[in-house]
Amino acid sequence: MIFNTIELMAPILLAAIGGLFAERAGVLNIALEGLILVGAFAAIVFGALTGSVALAFFAAAGASVMLASIFAFAALRLRANIFVAGLATNLFATGLIPFISNALFSTKGVVRLAGVPAVPRLVPTLRSLPVVGPVFFAHTISVYLALATTVIAAVVLTKTRFGLRVSAAGLNAEALRARGCRPERYQAIAILISGALSGLAGAAIVLRLGVYLPNVSAGRGWIALVAIFLGYRRPFGVLIAAFVFAFSESLAVAAQGMLQMPGTVLLALPYVLTVVAMIVYSTFRSMHRSRHT
Amino acid sequence: MIEDSPPIVRIEKITKVFPENNVRAADSVSLELYPGEVRSLVGENGAGKSTIMHILSGNLAPNSGSIRLNERRVRFSSPGDAILEGIVMVHQHPPLIPDFRVWESLFLGIEPTRFGFIDRRTCIATLERICEQYGLSFDPRARVADLAASQLHLAAIAGALLRKPRVLILDEPTAPCTDPEVETIFSVIRAAARKGVAVVLITHKIREVMRISDTITVMRNGRVVTTVHAAETDGSAVSAAIMGVERPAGPKASTKNETATGSREDTGQPSAIGAHPRLSVESLSLTVNRREVLRDISFTVGAGEVFGVTGIRENGLEFLEDVLAGLIAPTRGRMCIDGVPIARYSPREFRRHGISYVPTDRIFRGASLDSSVTENLILNRRHRLGFAGVFDRDTVRGFAGSLMNRFDIVGHAHGPLRTLSGGNIQKVILSRELAHPGPIVVFSEPSWGLDVRSRDMMYAEIHRLRADGHAIVLISVDIDEVLELADRVGVMYAATMIRTLTGSDRSRKKIGELMLGLADRTTGGILR
Amino acid sequence: MIAPKQQRHATATGIALSAAVIATVVLLIIGSDRPTAALTAFFLGPFSNPYYFGNMLAEAGLLVLTGLGVCLAFRAGVFNLGGEGQTYAAATASAAVVLVMPAAPGGVGIAAAFLVGIAIGGTLGAFSGVFKWLTDTDELITSFLISAAAIPIVDYLIIGPWNDPASNLLTTRRVAEQFRLLRILPPSYLHVGVFGAIALSVFMLFYLFRTVSGYELRLCGLNRNFARYGGVPVGMYIVGPMAASGAFHGLAGTTAVLGIHHAALVGFTGGLGWNGIAVALIARTHPLGVIPAALVFAYLNAGAKAAMLHTTFTFELGTIIQAVIFFLITATNIGPQLLGPRLTGAILTRRTRRSKQSEATNDL
């Protein structure tokens, strides 16, 4: 089950780290869900076209960056309300994908294509190591991609000029502007990064399934968003939060098998888990705060 | 002597009209700055001082006119462009980032890097060198949030020096500072000027202007009135030029500081000490985030009495204000009105008990900029301007109109408050609280953001309230203001009210020593 | 140069609506074998016969209700993103109520259905409000999540326990004749409920701008610190508007059941929540503006539906229209000045305002 959890964690973690960049820059990116969907769709299409996993991931990131740039343009250049623009991005994704899918494959539902490559696992020699092999080295590359992204994000956010300025843009945009940097620039780049990583998250989801389903992200964008808060807006905190979400998800899936729960109700589960986690977290935080007051 | 060299900056016929309210904030302003000079820019609120400097530092774009730097025409579209040309401004409220370390906040935008990573060691070493060089005392490794307000200012100035300015603009740099800190800032200014930097100082404090400046430029109504050498003028002449009269209107404007100690006695009004206490604060303590920010504070205020509270910011004044406004409940102790303890600490409850309150934070707490002027004015009387929870339009209109008349508020009653000038916004807030004041009135920093004229009007209102028998608490960091208005003065130091001074005890020197923690607590004075 | 606010708003609305129309036209041309027929249907379809026209007005009536709900929340400075689930859950619950009392008199059943609809919608909205008030949990995210969780559960109820075995559709049984709202333009679905929607707009206008409570609510939305300072119980104006916003969505749900569909079908209120947000934004959260905004939006949707009949494949044109409008409707830096010099200033005003507000709410 732990093994399964880690696989489930990868897309949540990728999207959450992406969202973390935006969050640090002061943009609550509620568009993650739509960005994941577009990435997922692009991954299936390009995976089937090229048969290459790398190109599928690459195309997913590219497609989501394109959508993210529309979001960034509306929010930063046109100065639309950031939440409404985020909403627009999600709606745009859910409207556009069926249109393209219909035009290309004459279906607006399940896209099942021949030649979608499976995501490879790590080098076999390492995998065959006793005990540690299956736990650490047997996962798909999506997992290692997500973990590497987390480490890189931690370094970039705390140790580089870019990271410092992204944080400054989020904490006090006017301070950054007074120092001669344009906060919008850093916010835009942060949104594009969250686009790219959400795209990878989408690819990780669908390449594991081998098929694109409508709403295949199933709320993972929102889960990722909440994971950012639960992880105290730090990369490794987000890692733990993403793991907890993935774990409870796999636990719940196992439980419903035993309890004979209907499949449709299961769709509500990620949202229920997320909202409960969020409320517990806020309650804890506010209790903590009032104790000190 | 200085004018011998060519000017470093030549501002030519700059005009700026704000489209929101059609105010001509700068009207064909021309100004020259010379290397190595200390220039003070003085004038009432809205005279255009800050506007013109915001244009010079790239924060605002002018409608017309030009800026020449060493005779070369420059155009700034952002503060970054100005910084690249060596024009650096330290704002009145420096935009620092509370969650950052001091060094991170100051090096933001000019971070030195090694192999792509920020070179932390170089940053800290550079800052420590600057601190040593100018006698500044703050820890570059500290969190910004942990610095006192005055230290923040010093840090912001150090941050400006890091950018190697040729023109250094300081907007009200001494506002939150104590006397020794003012000396530090002055020594930094002098050192910078010696190196050939043109320093521009925007300030209201005439006494400081006379001490530090080489030249003084007076602005009024968006125009430059005059530029004079400091050595060739005196404080009262500058005040007169600011006010636009031949000589100062009254003794207060410029000579206030000299006469402050005796001012209450001069008015000849009876002091109300010993009168029936309306408000009593009993052993008030407050702990926030495990830190004791108020410790065992007690005082009483009687009808017809002004009780002043002064001290340096960060010594508990802010928290005392919040408790007196009902925004935070004290951890221990209580407040009583006419001997009856207050049961619940909420602004709603306090209003019901007849406590009026003018907050320090006028903009975020005291006003709603996007609501109309009328909607700002009716806040306290909203339940009395109609029937059964429905407003009567004529009553509302009449009420707002009468306040605007009485307090001489210029603006459109149904336009957003944002479109009014700063002074008029202040008047809207004050008129709302003073129109139907409760028996107890809490003023925090009543003259912040007011020019000399409005300030005098404000003081007259406080005197009137006192004469009408209101019990008044006056919280102010300005010693002169407290001496001018208060019957008794409580001095805050390190979260506690270390001494209450009455009558002739209330000297500027003594209060200054107490608020710095220099005075011996056990001798003399009335200890609470 | 910053143009005056109202002019800026008018520009943004104009550009957003035109862009939505242009996007639709382009997609129809790409997606149709007979573009002229599709375009004619899009523009004129809603007026071509009483059936289409009446249905469009009926849709507008529902949008007025959800739009008012969104308005109320926005005016109080809270976001309700849960409209979809609130409408759907309330609609299905009110259908269930009248289905369990098939013999009750019409008035009783209708009253019960509306009460349950309002209660369900209000409760779902109030949840987010209460947690926002007590623990400062972002109501924007929780309202969405609660709604998203409600949708599959309601789906399950309609498909499972409450399903009509006699029907091939995923639907409940049809509600009894006496509970249906009177239709005024047969054969279309237009029913008397639209008058209720218009009356509620007028009432909302009165409430917001003429009553002390409406004044307090708007103050909370514009500057919560100031409202608190003036003795306004700000906690009440977080929970209240969220609950009321949910209640309006519930009202729309019940109206959809009793007035239009006469049963609860899977996904049958889909879009009312999001469209309500679009309507409120087009109306600039003005209660009377909601009526023309709802008409415009209903027209675009009806046109899109009519045009779909002339395309070679179906797709979610309505969603794309929504998206385009959402991208542009709140833009403040749009139109001629976008081409001018770069503007400076705070871009995330809501965010900074929020953090300022949360600073002062520690003793609530």
pLDDT, tens only, A241-264: 888 888 887 877 777 777 766 777
Radius of gyration from C-alpha coordinates of chain B: 24
pLDDT of residue B288: 79
Among the candidates B201, B218, B249, a domain finishes at: B249
| Average per-residue pLDDT for chain A | 84
Contact call for C226 and B59, based on CB within 8 A: no
* CA B241-B247-B249 angle, 5° bins: 100
Judgement on whether residues B237 and B267 belong to the same structural domain of the protein: no
Judgement on whether residues B238 and B275 belong to the same structural domain of the protein: no
Amino acid code (one letter) for A190 = A
Q: Are A78 and C328 in contact (CB under 8 A)?
A: yes
Is B332 domain-assigned? yes
Our CA-based measurement puts residue B286 at a distance from the nearest CA of chain A, in whole angstroms, of 8
Contact call for A160 and B98, based on CB within 8 A: no
Our CA-based measurement puts residue A293 at a distance from the nearest CA of chain B, in whole angstroms, of 4
Judgement on whether residues B166 and B243 belong to the same structural domain of the protein: yes
Give the position of tokens 């950031």. Answer: A82
Q: Which of A159, A179, A293 sits opposite B108 (nearest CB)?
A: A179
pLDDT of residue B474: 93
Judgement on whether residues B240 and B312 belong to the same structural domain of the protein: no
Judgement on whether residues B241 and B133 belong to the same structural domain of the protein: yes
* Domains of chain C, each with CATH number or no CATH: 5-359 (1.10.3470)
Closest CA to A178 of B76, B83, B144: B83
Residue B335 is encoded by which pair of tokens? 């407040």
At A120, is the secondary structure helix, strand, or coil? Answer: coil
Q: Which of B78, B99, B290 sits opposite A171 (nearest CB)?
A: B99
Give the position of tokens 């407040």. Answer: B335
Contact call for C331 and A78, based on CB within 8 A: yes
Asked whether the predicted pLDDT for residue B435 surpasses 80, the reply is yes
Asked whether the predicted pLDDT for residue B516 surpasses 90, the reply is no
> CB-based burial of residue B65 (10 Å sphere; 0-12 exposed, 13-18 middle, 19+ buried)?
middle
Interface test with chain A among B97, B169, B328, by most A beta carbons within 10 Å: B97
- As a whole number, mean pLDDT of residues A74-98 equals 86
Interface test with chain C among B60, B288, B318, B371, by most C beta carbons within 10 Å: B371
The H or E element spanning position A49 is helix A32-50
Chain B partners within 8 Å of C337 (Cβ): none
Q: Which of C313, C325, C329 sits opposite A102 (nearest CB)?
A: C313
Task: Report phi then psi at B218, rounded to 5.
Answer: -105, 130
Which of A179-183, A262-266, B82-86, B491-495 is the least confident region?
A: A262-266
Residue B74 is encoded by which pair of tokens? 């420059």
CATH code: domain of residue B111: 3.40.50.300
Is B432 domain-assigned? no
CB atoms under 10 Å from CB of C10, counted, come to 14
pLDDT of residue B163: 87
Is B199 domain-assigned? yes
Residue A82 is encoded by which pair of tokens? 């950031």
- Distance of alpha carbon B404 from alpha carbon B321, whole angstroms: 28
pLDDT of residue A5: 82
Asked whether the predicted pLDDT for residue A278 surpasses 50, the reply is yes
CA A198, chain centre distance (Å) = 4
- As a whole number, mean pLDDT of residues B363-388 equals 86
Instruction: Enumerate residues 6+ apart whose C-beta is below 8 A from B443.
Output: B358, B462, B472, B473, B474, B475, B476
Higher local confidence (pLDDT), B300 or A117: B300
pLDDT of residue B226: 87
Half-sphere exposure of B109 (CA within 13 A, CB side): 25
Which subunits sit against C, judged by 3+ Cβ pairs under 8 A? A, B
pLDDT, tens only, B221-261: 888 888 888 888 887 788 778 776 644 333 333 333 333 33
Chain A partners within 8 Å of B328 (Cβ): 293
Closest residue of chain C to B324, computed from CA coordinates: C229
- As a whole number, mean pLDDT of residues A96-110 equals 80
Judgement on whether residues B94 and B192 belong to the same structural domain of the protein: yes
Closest residue of chain A to C140, computed from CA coordinates: A83
Is B497 domain-assigned? yes
Among the candidates B228, B249, B270, a domain finishes at: B249
Q: How far is the CA of B519 from the CAs of B297, B502, B510, in angstroms?
A: 19, 16, 8
Angle between helices A220-230 and A269-292 (to 10 degrees): 20
| Average per-residue pLDDT for chain B | 81
Strand order in the sheet with B87-90: B87-90, B167-171, B198-202, B38-42, B215-220, B223-229
* CA C273-C274-C275 angle, 5° bins: 90
Judgement on whether residues B179 and B296 belong to the same structural domain of the protein: no
pLDDT of residue A95: 85
pLDDT, tens only, B392-423: 888 899 999 998 888 888 888 888 888 887 77
N- to C-terminal Cα distance for chain B? 55
Instruction: Enumerate residues 6+ apart whose C-beta is below 8 A from C12.
Output: C328, C329, C330, C331, C332, C334, C335
- Distance of alpha carbon C200 from alpha carbon C67, whole angstroms: 11
Give the position of tokens 């309300």. Answer: A81
- As a whole number, mean pLDDT of residues B310-330 equals 84
Is B526 domain-assigned? no
**Residues of chain C with confidence (pLDDT) below 50:** 1-3, 337, 339-364
Chain C partners within 8 Å of A83 (Cβ): 79, 140, 350
pLDDT, tens only, B90-108: 887 777 788 888 888 888 8
Contact call for A289 and C313, based on CB within 8 A: no
pLDDT of residue B174: 76
Contact call for B77 and C341, based on CB within 8 A: yes
Q: Is C327 left (phi over 0), alpha (psi -120 to 50) or beta?
A: alpha
- Distance of alpha carbon B375 from alpha carbon C209, whole angstroms: 11
- As a whole number, mean pLDDT of residues B449-460 equals 78
Among the candidates B219, B249, B279, a domain finishes at: B249
pLDDT of residue C3: 47
At B24, is the secondary structure helix, strand, or coil? Answer: strand
Is B419 domain-assigned? no
- Distance of alpha carbon B244 from alpha carbon B267, whole angstroms: 27
CB atoms under 10 Å from CB of C87, counted, come to 36
Asked whether the predicted pLDDT for residue B82 surpasses 70, the reply is yes
pLDDT of residue C357: 34
- Distance of alpha carbon C362 from alpha carbon C364, whole angstroms: 6
Q: Is C124 left (phi over 0), alpha (psi -120 to 50) or beta?
A: alpha
Chain C partners within 8 Å of A76 (Cβ): 347
Asked whether the predicted pLDDT for residue A234 surpasses 80, the reply is yes
For B42-82, the DSSP string reads E-STTSSHHHHHHHHTTSS--SEEEEEETTEEE--SSHHHH
pLDDT of residue B175: 67
- Distance of alpha carbon C363 from alpha carbon A289, whole angstroms: 10
Our CA-based measurement puts residue C112 at a distance from the nearest CA of chain B, in whole angstroms, of 30
pLDDT of residue C201: 94
Judgement on whether residues B245 and B265 belong to the same structural domain of the protein: no
> Strands, E, within B244-303: which ranges?
277-288, 291-302
ipTM value for the complex: 0.82
Contact call for A84 and C326, based on CB within 8 A: yes
Closest CA to A8 of A283, A246, A287, A229: A246
Domain range enclosing B30: 2-249
Contact call for B352 and C231, based on CB within 8 A: yes
Strand B332-337 and strand B277-288: the pairing is antiparallel
- As a whole number, mean pLDDT of residues B308-312 equals 85
pLDDT of residue B270: 46
Query: What is the sign, positive or negative, of the torsion defined by CA atoms of C161, C162, C163, C165?
Result: positive
- Distance of alpha carbon B211 from alpha carbon B230, whole angstroms: 8
DSSP at B169:
E
Which of A32-41, B316-325, B371-380, C177-186 is the least confident region?
A: C177-186
Is B391 domain-assigned? no
Judgement on whether residues B211 and B238 belong to the same structural domain of the protein: yes
Asked whether the predicted pLDDT for residue B88 surpasses 70, the reply is yes
DSSP at C261:
I
pLDDT of residue C314: 64
Judgement on whether residues B158 and B280 belong to the same structural domain of the protein: no
Closest residue of chain C to B63, computed from CA coordinates: C1
Partner A contacted by B345 (CB < 8 A): no
- As a whole number, mean pLDDT of residues B162-182 equals 81
Number of domains chain B is built from: 2
- As a whole number, mean pLDDT of residues B145-153 equals 76
Asked whether the predicted pLDDT for residue B480 surpasses 50, the reply is yes
- As a whole number, mean pLDDT of residues A279-287 equals 82
Asked whether the predicted pLDDT for residue A156 surpasses 50, the reply is yes
At B330, is the secondary structure helix, strand, or coil? Answer: coil
C238-262: b or e for each residue (b if 16 or more CB lie within 10 Å)? bbbbbbbbbbbbbbbbbbbbbbbbb
Q: Which of C27, C144, C330 sits opposite A80 (nearest CB)?
A: C330
Partner B contacted by A14 (CB < 8 A): no
pLDDT of residue A134: 62
Is B402 domain-assigned? no
- Distance of alpha carbon A103 from alpha carbon B484, whole angstroms: 80
At C330, is the secondary structure helix, strand, or coil? Answer: coil
Residue C36 is encoded by which pair of tokens? 């002229």
Partner B contacted by A68 (CB < 8 A): no
Provide the chain B residues 355-414 that lie in CB contact (below 8 A) with chain C: 357, 359, 361, 364-371, 375, 378-380, 382-383, 386, 389-391, 393
Closest CA to A72 of A197, A191, A196: A191
Judgement on whether residues B240 and B269 belong to the same structural domain of the protein: no
Closest residue of chain B to C209, computed from CA coordinates: B391
Closest residue of chain A to B288, computed from CA coordinates: A293
Contact call for B118 and A159, based on CB within 8 A: yes
> CB-based burial of residue C187 (10 Å sphere; 0-12 exposed, 13-18 middle, 19+ buried)?
exposed
Query: Is the bond preceding residue C187 a cis peptide, omega within 30 degrees?
Result: yes
Our CA-based measurement puts residue C7 at a distance from the nearest CA of chain A, in whole angstroms, of 15
pLDDT of residue A290: 56
Residue B418 is encoded by which pair of tokens? 């944002």
Angle between helices A2-24 and A183-209 (to 10 degrees): 160
Question: Helix, strand, coil % (nearest 5) of chain B?
Answer: 35, 25, 35
The H or E element spanning position B464 is helix B452-467
Residue B252 is encoded by which pair of tokens? 């207060």
Judgement on whether residues B50 and B184 belong to the same structural domain of the protein: yes
pLDDT of residue C4: 58
